[in-house]
Structure 1
Amino acid sequence: MSAITLYSDYVCPYCLLAEKVLSDAIGNRDIAITWRPFELRPAPEPTLRPEDPYLPSVWQRSVYPLAERLGVPIRLPSISPQPRTAKAFELLAMAQDEGLDNDYSLRVLRAFFQEDRDIGQPEVLIELAAEIGIDPDEARHALENGTYAQRHHEAQRHAREDMQITSVPTIVVGKQVFRGTPPLDELKRAIDQLEREQNGEPSPASARG
């Protein structure tokens, strides 16, 4: 089975919107979306406040129009300042081990952007994880003991240093890297190319040559 990697931060609305485009591009093909963390503002850097001018301006100018085109319900969350996502990403590592990282990431994004829930609170994260099949007692134990803290720290380092990620969403399809929410047709072409490469088939250009 092929896999596509999506680097995200759970307080970035474009990550929820990019997932919709990516899912549409995949269609019914047997391709998994693997989620990887990239905190935009890790501690101690201050997070954004929805009452300040910046977020409402970006949402009105860009987020809401794109969401409407894609048919994705979304609204600017009221939590202020915006929650940190390190704890959410610690549970992402747990979800990865259980093959639930796509379900978990979507649940967290929807909780924040559709239900206005504070995804910086451990109890909220534990409840969301339980909804997609993770044992809540194990999730609570992991958060209280920092079981996945070092793994998240390494994932952050990998994203910044190895992958040179600077913004989210960043989508990696084979050798192609898309920064931001790419057009549907571009993603489809990249996925087609990925499948050809994995099946040992020549690209259309190579076949013509």
Structure 2
Amino acid sequence: LQLVNDLESKFNSKGNHKTKNINDDQTRITFSSTLDLSDDKVYLYLTDIFNQQTNIKETVIQALTTISKEKKTQLLTEEDYFIRKMSGSEYQKNLYDHYRAYNDLLLPNLNVLPKNVKDTLVLFALDHADNTMLNILKQHCCIPCTPNGRTLNKPSKLIHPYCRLASLYSDIDSLFPYGGQDSYLREDRLNVLKLLVSTL
């Protein structure tokens, strides 16, 4: 009798698991059927930190519009973002959170953006950088350097402008962050850059 009970329990367990998978598939299909899908759009979700600075959302959208040219950026709620994320690979192709937007679109294309837009994006990333964003910033030439700020360098190539090594280099070497105390040379931002390179 115990053997029969064990087999029944095992069978019921398998049956429930199968039903769960079917329900998951049905849910995915239901979600997907209500979503628009266009190659001409960038579907973007920005977290609450983008509500902490005036016009930063508009700046991100402006930058993405410039970079992606004919594609329109559609802002998503958190719920819409996760529904799309669960709805299959075809819905994830043009789906971006702020990490992916910075890594795949914004930072690799800073040179096509106006200086004020470029600086706003990078300074915001420095001010709100967690470990994920720090790792993204490390990979890209995104910090304007001396002598005039036109050259962008990776953080790993920079020298702290006030360290003892600084006297060994000139502004024309493009190794110092370029800006004022209200931008890249502000102490807290230099401290963030220190996390990205041992010589800063």
| TM-score, structure 1 as length reference | 0.21
Give the structure with higher Rg (CA). 2
| TM-score, structure 2 as length reference | 0.21
Higher relative contact order (CA 8 A, sep 6+): 1
